[in-house]
Amino acid sequence: MWPMSRLGAYLIALAFILAYEGYAFFVKESGVAENIASSSDWHLTGEVAGDVALVQGLVPYTDGFDGIDVWAHATDGIPRGPVVFSITPQDASAADSTLHVSYPAAAVVASPPFHVTFPRIDASAGRLYTVRIAAPEATPGQGLRFEASGPAYPGGAMTLGGREEWGDLQFRTTAERTTIYRNISHLRQSSPKILRSDLFLALMLLVFSGAMATLLYDLAFARDAG
């Protein structure tokens, strides 16, 4: 049995790890990369509707890229159908890993900025991505337009309907902090169905947190053991 002093140290280490997990769960790391113009320097892009899609290149600064804020406005009335966001890495080694997420167009234009969330990209730092925004069911004249800045963003260009536009999309990216909870959540997406339950996730969180606390305990008392 451990002496009470060492048991207390172990419990403190475990509490510290769980406290960090809780903090990181509720507080996302934001502002990984952004292109936001001053209030007097932004303009609206041409319309995204039907076959006309907007594409913007960007480069996240850290790993864990998992979302992007955009500022959208309706051209006239509420756009129909979904808005589809596609995130594609431009290096050949990951050419088949495009992510697609969609949201109702009405939600996207409801209260700018709109936050787009997609599965975490672990190795995203310094890589060039393109974000493609399409509204395939919106009709011309009732689509969406997005806030853009002057052509000052160095990380990529903006195109509309395949033609380069003046300026760049206004955006702000987010990244997910690396934690035990999020790593397990990420891994269980490709696990057998029986391992995707919330109970299994909670058990694994406790097991790995306990293992980390044990490691910290061993490091702290290794000198005494010798």
Structure-token match 């990369």, residue found: 33
Mapped onto helix, strand or coil, the DSSP state of residue 20 is helix
Domains and CATH numbers, the chain: 4-26+179-225 (no CATH), 29-175 (2.60.120)
Q: Do residues 35 and 170 make contact, with C-beta atoms less than 8 angstroms apart?
A: yes
pLDDT at 61: 86
C-alpha to C-alpha distance for 66 and 79, rounded to whole angstroms:
26
| pLDDT digit string (tens) for the chain, length 226 residues | 445 456 666 566 666 666 655 655 555 555 578 899 887 889 999 999 999 999 999 999 888 899 999 999 999 989 999 999 999 999 866 556 899 999 999 999 999 999 999 988 888 888 999 999 999 999 999 999 999 998 889 999 999 999 999 999 999 999 876 555 555 555 555 555 555 566 665 666 666 666 666 666 666 655 554 4
C-alpha to C-alpha distance for 173 and 171, rounded to whole angstroms:
7
DSSP 158: E
Q: Label the pairing between strands 158-160 and 54-58.
A: antiparallel
C-alpha to C-alpha distance for 196 and 190, rounded to whole angstroms:
9
Tell me which amino acid residue 3 is.
P
pLDDT tens profile 146-183:
999 988 899 999 999 999 999 999 999 998 765 555 55
pTM summary value? 0.69
